[in-house]
Structure 1
C-alpha cells in the first residue's frame, strides 16, 4: 500500500521491515499489514484507513455522546454509565435494549479493524454480522459494519471510540459531547497486557515487562499513549468535553456521576444516581456477565485470568512491576507530563485514618506537594518517618486527633 492522505488530512506511513518485525513479535499478525498515521505515528492495521474516512464523514447529531479512551482505561464502565443515564435512567428491567450486550448497545466504531487479525474473525463476528443484516439491510459489510450500525441507531447515541480526538470529524467538539477517560499508564499497561493475552485478536505471548517496554516504544497497536491522552487533556476546558480518570471514578463515583449528570444536562435525582452507581459497579457488571461474546476469547487464558472483568482495581501494577521496570516507566511518565499539568494517581495512596470515607477528611497532603497543610499533618509526616512508615498520601480529618493515634489506627487497619 502506498502512502495516502486521509480525509482528516493525516498522512499514512508504512513501517520499515525492522519495525514490522518488532510490531509483529508475540502478537497475532494483521492480515492487511499495519500502518502508522502521522504525525504522531498511531499504529493500526492498514485496513483502518478505510474506516477512518468513513468515521470522519459520519453525520454527527447534537445529542450524540462519545466515550473516547485509550484502550483499557475504564471504557466499558463509562459506556454503561452513559448508556444508562441517557437511555434507561430508571433501570427499567423491561427495557428491550437492555437485553442486548453492552457492545451492541454502544458499539466501538473501530470494531471492524480489530477482527482483521485472524482467520476465524468472520465466525467470531457472527453476532455483529447478524445485527448488521437486521438493522442495515442492503448495506455493504466492507464499508464497516460497526460504523454503519452506529449510523442506524436511534438518538441519543452513546458511541465508543479508541481513536484519538484528531482522527474524528473536525466538528466533533462543536456538535457533540465527549467524555474522555484516562487511566494511569502503569495500570493501563497491566490491563492491556492481560486483555491482549485473552482475546483472539491479540494472543500476546511475551512477558509483561517486555510488553510494557513495547508500549513505551510505540510497538503495540493504538500506541502512542501520550498524544492520545494529552490531546484530550488540552481540551479539558472545552464545554463539550468532560475529562476524568479511572482513578477519580474509583475514589468518588457519586461525585463523578453528579458531574456527568450536569455535563449531559440530565437533571437526574440523587436517588437515580445512587441506583446507577450500584448498577454500574464492578461487582454488578461482573455478575451480569461479559460485555462481549465469549467466542472472542482464548478460552484457556480466559479460564485462568478472566475476561473483560478481571479485577477492577487501581494499583495492580505493584503486583507485576519489577523495580527496574517501575523506574523506566516513572522516567517515561515524567518526560511526557512535564509542563502539562496532568497528574495521575497510581493506587499507592492511603487514608491515615482507616474506616472513614474521603468526604469526611479535611486537610490533604499529596504526593506532588501539599494542597493544604497544617501543623498536625506536618507532624504526622514526621512521626511516620520516625516510625519507618512510607507515606504516599495522607488525609487528615478536620477534627482534632493525635498524630500518634492516627498512625496507630492506620497500622491496625493494615
Structure 2
C-alpha cells in the first residue's frame, strides 16, 4: 500500500520511483524506500511508520524528560546537561551509567528507523546491541531496539527525539517535561551538511548549495525545518515545555542552567551548576570523545572533519555561504517567521 494512516491521525505517502531517483543521486538509500508524513511532509525511511505508532502509544511517566530538537541544533550538548542534572548531578566518577556512551544512557527514538539503511544494516552497533540483550531479554530486535531500551530505562528517563511534537503521544506535554532547543537555520543547515557527509546512513555526495536548497524545500531526511521549530515555539508558554536556543546557550550557559534547574524542580546549588557547565562544555565533551559507536560513521572522513564535536560555534554559515545563497535563505527565513514572533541570532 502506498498510503496508510498512523495512530496520530497523520496520513503517510510513499515516495514515487522518480522522487527516489532524484534523492538517490546524492546519498545511500533505505531498503523500504522513503515516506512523507502529511500534511507537513516529514521525510523518513518508510519503515518509520512501524515505529511511529509504537512511539505514539509509548507509556509516559511523570518524571520523564524529553529533549526534542531538529538535528544539529545543540541536541547532544543539552542531552548531556539534562542527563547529568537528573542522574548524576554531583558528577560522581564511580557512577556506572556514566561509563556508557551518551547515546546508550539516553536513547534517541528516531534511531531504529536508520537500521533499514543499506550501509548501516551491514554494521554492528555494539553498544546498542549489548544493552538490548542485557535489558530486553526475550524481546525482538525488529520491534525496535532503541525504543525498547528506552522503555526499560531507570527513572528519571532522559529521552531524545528528532520527531516533531505532533508525532509523539498526544499527552506528552500534559504528563512530561520537554526541553526544546532551536538553532538558527543557517548554522543548522551547515552543521547537517558536514554531518551527513561522514555518516554511513547518508554519505552525502552533493554540494553544499544543493544541500541548502534541498533543505529549504524539505527534501532531506527529517525535514522540513520550519514546522518542527514552530510547533514547539507555539507551545513555549506551556509550563511543561522549556524553549531555548543554541545561541542563548552559547551566550549565557549559566543563565540557561539556572532556568533548566528551576524548570526541572531540581534545586541544584550554584556550585553544582558551575561544575555541570564545565563538564558539559564543548572542550570537555570533545576531550571525552564521541558519544556514539564507530560503526555509525566513516572513520577517516569523521576524524578529518573533527568528529561529533566539529566546531561548536555560532555563525559558521558565514564561512560557507555565497552572497546568492545568503540572499535566498534570508528570504526563506523572512517568509517563514513572519507574524510568529520567533527571532534568531545569526552572528558570532
TM-score tier by shorter-chain length is over 0.9
- Structure 2 distance, partners of 1:230, 1:59, is 26
Q: How does 1:108-257 map to 2 (within 5 A)?
A: 108-257=108-257
What does residue 391 of structure 1 align with?
none
- Structure 1 distance, partners of 2:105, 2:75, is 14
The structure-2 alpha-carbon separation of the partners of 1:120 and 1:35, relative to structure 1 and needing over 3 Å to count, comes to closer
- Deviation of 1:18 after TM superposition, in Å, equals 3.0
State TM-score, norm by structure 2: 0.98
Please say if residues 64 and 176 of structure 1, whose CA atoms lie closer than 8 Å, have aligned partners that are also in contact.
yes
Please say if residues 198 and 307 of structure 1, whose CA atoms lie closer than 8 Å, have aligned partners that are also in contact.
no
- Deviation of 1:17 after TM superposition, in Å, equals 3.2
What does residue 39 of structure 1 align with?
39
- Structure 2 distance, partners of 1:38, 1:310, is 33
- Deviation of 1:126 after TM superposition, in Å, equals 2.9
**Aligned pairs, how many?**
348
- Deviation of 1:146 after TM superposition, in Å, equals 0.4
Q: Deviations over 1:72-131 (max 9, x none)?
A: 000000000000000000000000000000000001011111221124425332321111
SS of equivalent to 2:156 = coil
- Deviation of 1:294 after TM superposition, in Å, equals 1.7
State TM-score, norm by structure 1: 0.83
SS of equivalent to 1:115 = helix
Please say if residues 66 and 159 of structure 2, whose CA atoms lie closer than 8 Å, have aligned partners that are also in contact.
yes
Q: Structure 2: state its 5+ residue gaps.
A: none
Does residue 290 of structure 1 match 2:302? no
Q: Deviations over 1:248-291 (max 9, x none)?
A: 00000000000000000000000000000000000000000001
- Structure 2 distance, partners of 1:297, 1:227, is 28
SS of equivalent to 1:124 = coil
Larger relative contact order (Cα-Cα within 8 Å, sequence gap ≥ 6) = 2
- Structure 2 distance, partners of 1:303, 1:83, is 26
Please say if residues 22 and 219 of structure 1, whose CA atoms lie closer than 8 Å, have aligned partners that are also in contact.
no
- Structure 2 distance, partners of 1:78, 1:157, is 14
SS of equivalent to 1:267 = coil
Please say if residues 297 and 307 of structure 1, whose CA atoms lie closer than 8 Å, have aligned partners that are also in contact.
no
Does residue 29 of structure 1 match 2:29? yes
Q: Deviations over 1:288-344 (max 9, x none)?
A: 000101221112211321221100001000000100100010000000000000000
SS of equivalent to 1:19 = helix
Q: Structure 1: state its 5+ residue gaps.
A: 349-414
SS of equivalent to 2:242 = strand
Pairwise CA RMSD:
1.0
- Higher Rg of the two aligned structures: 1
- Deviation of 1:217 after TM superposition, in Å, equals 1.1
